[in-house]
């Protein structure tokens, strides 16, 4: 009878088991055991059993020992399994001991089928209610798809950081990161594979954020980091490192290589005058969208920080290795200026006859272009 919840009845007397089964048969799928050892074996092997009804004086392993094993089990469903003990109503000391060991409820005798039906019904509802509560709490904290913190939880973390900031004058920063052209990525790969790309990104990001930072999932292709005790300038430096790491990354899905970039919006206290954690996250999100609208692959902090930092030689080489020469071209004058001392030394020591004088004249005639 697979549609009915299964319970286990434990008693050495077959007549007692039969009396109870007669009352329960229409409501439960009943399994029997005549001693504690057989009951324990059934509980371990049959995970469909939802509750136990046992006499106190059962052979081989007593009811108290059986319930102790259940409550100390490593299996959560056994730890929480309802256990009803058949015990005379006058045995108050025994009842007190039984409750201490983990017995859930009692019936007075084996003929109390109606009473047991009522008690079992209530007891079986408890694990369902507990599971629903746990699931609801988990969904408030973690996104069910990505496993990252939800926006609601990030707001709680940011609110705590802002409260601490107001009392002690400590900075709080938030960064919101979004994949540029994420809709196009979903179109090319499909939403499932696009989520997989996002998962790879968050694994990289998780390895870089501090333990006290909170990384969360805001929307498809969008993530946020709440950083208590971090000044906006330091958060901006970290954001640039993240942006550059994505810029030079090589992502391959089903044998096809993709180039990805991210735009990052920053907000923080005391640099930004916001009154709530939600407003702080919203402001960082708005700045991320501004960065995307301006062409993407950039960091926006509302004027508090330089929108784009000069490119370094090391990063330029990483971009070239990743076949991203178009990202290097706007910075060639700056890179040439950085290279001049090295070129002059190479020309002198290696006798290369490089056009050093012409390059210096070129740089002197025009200002280096910056992205």
The pLDDT value given to residue 86? 85
Is the pLDDT at 140 greater than 60? The verdict is no
The pLDDT value given to residue 368? 47
pLDDT digits (tens, 9 = 90+) for 255-281: 777 788 999 999 999 889 888 899 999
Instruction: Say what the alpha-carbon torsion angle 48, 53, 58, 59 is, to the nearest 10 degrees.
Output: -10
Per-residue pLDDT, averaged over 166-173, amounts to: 84
**Greater pLDDT, 206 or 251:** 206
The pLDDT value given to residue 8? 92
Reported as a pLDDT band with limits 50, 70 and 90, residue 126 is low
Reported as a pLDDT band with limits 50, 70 and 90, residue 112 is low
The pLDDT value given to residue 207? 83
**Greater pLDDT, 65 or 126:** 65
Reported as a pLDDT band with limits 50, 70 and 90, residue 304 is low
Is the pLDDT at 370 greater than 60? The verdict is no
Reported as a pLDDT band with limits 50, 70 and 90, residue 125 is low
In the chain, where do the E strands start and end? Answer: 6-10, 29-33, 49-55, 83-86, 105-107, 172-179, 214-219, 222-228, 251-253, 256-258, 262-269, 299-300
The pLDDT value given to residue 288? 95
The pLDDT value given to residue 264? 95
Residues 6+ apart with CB under 8 A from 366: 333
The pLDDT value given to residue 104? 82
Per-residue pLDDT, averaged over 350-364, amounts to: 84
Reported as a pLDDT band with limits 50, 70 and 90, residue 293 is very high
The pLDDT value given to residue 20? 81
**Greater pLDDT, 209 or 282:** 282
d(CA 267, CA 66): 58
Percentage with pLDDT > 90 across the chain: 19
Q: Let me know: does 145 contact 195? Beta carbons within 8 Å.
A: yes
Residues 6+ apart with CB under 8 A from 263: 177, 178, 180, 243, 288, 289, 291, 292, 296, 297, 298, 299, 300
Reported as a pLDDT band with limits 50, 70 and 90, residue 113 is low
The pLDDT value given to residue 26? 82
Residue 92's Cβ-count burial label (10 Å; 0-12, 13-18, 19+) is exposed
Instruction: Say what the alpha-carbon torsion angle 146, 149, 152, 155 is, to the nearest 10 degrees.
Output: -140
Is the pLDDT at 334 greater than 50? The verdict is yes
Per-residue pLDDT, averaged over 225-229, amounts to: 90
- Looking at every residue in the chain, the average pLDDT score rounds to 82
The pLDDT value given to residue 37? 93
2-11, 55-64, 224-233, 247-256: segment of lowest average pLDDT? 247-256
Per-residue pLDDT, averaged over 308-328, amounts to: 72
pLDDT digits (tens, 9 = 90+) for 67-92: 999 988 888 888 888 898 888 776 77
pLDDT digits (tens, 9 = 90+) for 12-25: 988 888 888 888 88
> Averaging pLDDT over each range in 83-92, 194-203, 223-232, which range is the top one?
223-232
The pLDDT value given to residue 354? 86
Residues 6+ apart with CB under 8 A from 77: 47, 127
> Averaging pLDDT over each range in 57-61, 209-213, 286-290, which range is the top one?
286-290
């Amino acid at each position: 009878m697979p549609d009915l919840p299964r319970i286990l009845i434990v008693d050495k007397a077959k007549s007692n088991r039969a009396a109870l089964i007669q009352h329960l048969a229409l409501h439960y799928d009943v399994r029997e055991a005549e001693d504690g050892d057989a009951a324990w074996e059934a509980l371990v092997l049959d995970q469909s059993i939802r509750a136990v009804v046992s006499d106190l004086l059962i052979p081989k392993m007593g009811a108290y020992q059986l319930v102790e094993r259940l409550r100390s089990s490593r299996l959560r469903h056994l730890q929480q399994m309802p256990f009803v003990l058949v015990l005379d109503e006058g045995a108050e000391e025994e009842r007190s001991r039984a409750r201490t060991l983990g017995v859930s409820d009692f019936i007075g005798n084996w003929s109390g089928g109606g009473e047991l039906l009522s008690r079992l019904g209530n007891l079986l509802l408890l694990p369902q209610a507990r599971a629903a509560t746990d699931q609801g709490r988990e969904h408030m904290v973690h996104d069910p798809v990505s496993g990252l913190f939800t926006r609601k939880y990030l707001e709680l973390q940011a609110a705590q950081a802002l409260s601490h900031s107001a009392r002690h004058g400590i900075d709080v920063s938030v960064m919101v990161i979004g994949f540029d052209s994420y809709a196009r990525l979903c179109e090319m790969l499909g939403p499932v594979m696009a989520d997989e790309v996002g998962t790879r990104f968050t694994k990289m990001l998780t390895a870089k954020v501090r333990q006290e930072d909170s990384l969360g999932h805001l929307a498809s292709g969008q993530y946020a980091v709440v950083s208590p005790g971090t000044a906006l300038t330091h958060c901006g430096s970290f954001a640039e490192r993240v942006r550059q790491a994505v810029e030079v990354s090589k992502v391959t899905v089903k044998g096809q290589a993709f180039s990805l970039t991210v735009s990052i919006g920053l907000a923080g206290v005391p640099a930004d005058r916001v009154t709530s954690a939600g407003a702080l996250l919203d402001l960082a999100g708005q700045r991320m969208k501004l960065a995307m609208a301006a062409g993407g692959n950039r960091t926006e902090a509302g004027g508090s920080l330089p929108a784009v930092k000069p490119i370094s030689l090391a990063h330029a080489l990483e971009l070239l290795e990743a076949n991203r020469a178009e990202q290097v071209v706007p910075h060639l004058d700056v890179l040439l200026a950085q290279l001049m001392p090295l070129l002059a030394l190479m020309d002198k020591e290696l006798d290369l006859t490089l056009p050093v004088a012409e390059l210096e004249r070129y740089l002197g005639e025009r200002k280096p272009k910056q992205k």
